[in-house]
Chain A
């Protein structure tokens, strides 16, 4: 599984992305336990705050894993608490961020 955290927004509007291959981590079992602890379907509701960061956290599967383990959630900075925060801290600790241009959606 890959965990991809992208942080956008902030006063500067700069986007950073961290990408970790869980299976390459020496403690990959702990990662899977943590990922299962996260209440993926219910990030606590919070209206956006001006100039704060926005985090998008994705867990992407390689081919054979069951589809139920893929996750995708977008959180405001203040919603990053408990296991959410733990996962983001872990990802940021294990890898250097890449700076990327904003992801464009196809226009309308």
Chain B
């Protein structure tokens, strides 16, 4: 077993490990090379965030433009302050846009959908989205449905 073969196979071993690492980084975890300096922060206050969690996507028209960084309670207003990091490339969000918490599919996780407004001024770093809609809780909706259908039955009886 010559020294050359030993060194070559160690080199191949390290190359294989680097290849594995690259696959894990780019194919498995979809590491983007955007650092924090390529993003800007936007806040929004919600009455109820439902099941929203940090790292949830932020979308416009279904396209992911950023993600939720942290969720805190605003002690003065009893509202949830959601901090979002948006890609610097998508810097043309009108200031009167509204943020909604929606659910992916029937049982999917929650994410934030931003509906653009009509203002010509755009959201800056540390800007606040003032118009928000809370998460729609499935339980509340089912409750409402049952309540409405019962009312409908009673109306039928009267007639």
Chains A and B come from one and the same complex? no
Binding site for A on B (CB under 8 A): none
